[in-house]
Amino acid sequence: MAMGALAAIVGLFVLAGIVGLSIVYGGLYNVAATEEHASFTRWTFDTTFRNSVENRAEDILAPEAVAPALVARGAETYKSSCQLCHGGPGVDPEEWASGMRPRPPHLAEAAAEWEIEEIYWLASNGVKMSGMPAFGPSHDEETLWGVAAFVKGLPGLTPEDYAQSAIEPDAVPSGVPGAGSARE
């Protein structure tokens, strides 16, 4: 390679380093949550996030069935620990949750995009730099499988079923994956 080209490449790296350091040390990046992420930042975070979860949840084996009583316990945990950020059928998240960046998605819709193992992984491990907490350190595996099964079934729940689900296990329809029925 010609010396000129090599010098240009080294120069570019030095320049990139200087730009990077001035962003970090110079306070140039606005961390305010009142501003939406730039589309590049958002794409980078979102793609890293999705692929990381998919990759890490690959080796997780879901139980053959999650007992209805466990799903009902999961519903209770969901309402006390998740609903405030993610809402539920007929229930909006707390108003302050809309001030988070990234904004926590409405799981009644977003849960359809995830496998039950991925939801379990997300609830156990949380997501760095996003505000999604890890519940693994404070909850046992059984409870978290109940939560995961309940979340997986959220898109199919009516607001009435949702309102009932913590007190009345039968109110969780048998169509909820893992809710008493063997998974294929």
Residue 108 touching ligand HEC (CB under 6 A): no
User: 149 and 74 in contact (C-beta within 8 Å)?
Assistant: yes
Q: Which two tokens stand for residue 18?
A: 């200087």
Q: Which of 119, 149, 166, 171 binds ligand HEC (CB under 6 A)?
A: 119
Report the residue number, 22 or 47, with the smaller CB distance to ligand HEC: 47
Residue 17 CB, shortest distance to ligand HEC, in Å, is 29
Whether the bond into 68 is cis, omega within 30 of 0: no
Q: Which of 71, 114, 116, 162 binds ligand HEC (CB under 6 A)?
A: 114
Taking the C-alpha atoms of residue 134 and residue 123, their distance in angstroms, rounded to an integer, is 6
Taking the C-alpha atoms of residue 79 and residue 165, their distance in angstroms, rounded to an integer, is 10
Q: Which amino acid is at 121?
A: W
User: 101 and 42 in contact (C-beta within 8 Å)?
Assistant: no
Residue 80 CB, shortest distance to ligand HEC, in Å, is 9
Number of residues that bind ligand HEC (CB under 6 A): 25
The closest alpha carbon to 125, from 106, 112, 111, 139, belongs to 139
- Footprint of ligand HEC on 121-140 (CB under 6 A): 122-123, 127, 130-133, 135
Residue 87 CB, shortest distance to ligand HEC, in Å, is 11
- Footprint of ligand HEC on 77-106 (CB under 6 A): 81-82, 84-86, 100, 102, 104-105
Which x/- pattern, by CB under 6 A, does the window 6-45 give for ligand HEC?
----------------------------------------
- 26 contact partners, CB below 8 Å, separation of at least 6: none
Residue 15: half-sphere exposure toward Cβ, Cα within 13 Å: 6
Residues at the interface with ligand HEC (CB under 6 A): 49, 81-82, 84-86, 100, 102, 104-105, 107, 110, 113-114, 119, 122-123, 127, 130-133, 135, 147, 151
